[in-house]
Amino acid sequence: MMRNYVLASLLALATGFMAPASGQAFPSKPVKFVVPFAAGGPADVVAREVGQKLGTELGQPIVVDNQGGGAGVTALSTVVRSDADGHTLLFAASGNMVLQPQVSRTGGKELVAKLRPVGLVSTGPHVLVVSSKLPVNNLKEFIEYARSHPGKVNYASAGVGGVAHLGMEYLQALTKTDMTHVPYRGTAAAINDLASGQVQALFSSPPSLQAVIDKGLVKPLGMSAPGGTGAARSLPVIGTVVPGFEFTTWYGVYAPAATPKPVVDRIHAALAKVLKDPALVAKLEAQGVELRESTPDELAAITTRDTEKWAKVIRAANITLD
């Protein structure tokens, strides 16, 4: 009897140790989405909407932790240092995974290497908007105005080395214009100053822009690539005026590299299901967000493709953070 009791105890103990590794015990507490941007920006908007549905699917709430600034390094560091059990995830923009590692010498590449992709969340073009106070009504007029006022047009971004920054550097290179970069710690603050006329132009994803567009505080001039949702579909594609110009931005979810595959698979399956939820799709499409799922391998391939694309822009503009 004693021998059977000991064997039963050992089996129970072994099963207890195996449960986390097999993903059976996940999630056992709230899951954190670490977002490398301030609250109110487009990444924050999508993270909260997707997180609410994902929490319901997983059976534990998703808590959004905004860690803006630091070129994304702070947020990436938080996730890399966290327990690799699936309870702390990175909700990243393409700029965090593709651009900032190339322009920063403070550990960006090393941090990205310590993360593993879970899945894509959304993809879509950026919208170029200008302050309603700027005397232009379309993209051609904006380019002509910038050419005739070198250094006088100030454009905002959510930070040096982000996609909004490099997108405008890309546009300047192709249009032979000279504009002045004004970096902010987040998109929300940049939009406030754009609406008041303190800065004149901005690339951003539609969710953060719709309210100021609807109020007439900014003028949308075009999209960075074909696609988009809602009202953005009616905007001209910048590449039709500026040949060769095109880029998209995306959001994806990442986990610490040591996170067990069964846990990653569980999160990915839940995420893929959520991204097909009709109510969520409709709500975010109305804000200009196109939800798109992917496998972890597909997200890794997208990251590699965009890294190669933007490397050329970064070298040409000689952009560094340090």
Q: Give backbone dihedrals phi and psi of 190, rounded to 5 degrees, phi first.
A: -65, -40
pLDDT, tens digit, for every residue of 261-301? 999 999 999 999 999 999 999 998 877 788 999 999 999 99
Q: What does the buried/exposed string (b/e) look like for 130-146 if buried means 16 or more CB atoms within 10 Å of the residue's CB?
A: bbbebebeebeebbebb
The pLDDT assigned to 215 comes to 92
What are the helix (H) ranges across the chain? 2-22, 42-58, 73-81, 94, 100-103, 108-113, 139-148, 163-175, 187-196, 210-214, 261-274, 278-285, 296-317
CA distance 218 to 197: 9
Name the amino acid, one letter, at 165.
H
The pLDDT assigned to 319 comes to 74
Overall residue count recorded for the chain in this entry: 322
The pLDDT assigned to 87 comes to 98
The pLDDT assigned to 2 comes to 42
CA distance 255 to 188: 27
Catalogue all structural domains in the chain, each as residue range(s) with its CATH number: 31-124+248-317 (3.40.190.150), 127-240 (3.40.190.10)
pTM for the model stands at 0.77
The pLDDT assigned to 120 comes to 98
The pLDDT assigned to 142 comes to 98
What's the average pLDDT block by block, 10 residues per block, for the chain (322 residues)?
44 40 74 92 91 97 92 91 97 90 79 96 93 96 98 91 89 95 88 94 84 92 82 84 92 97 97 97 85 96 90 81 58
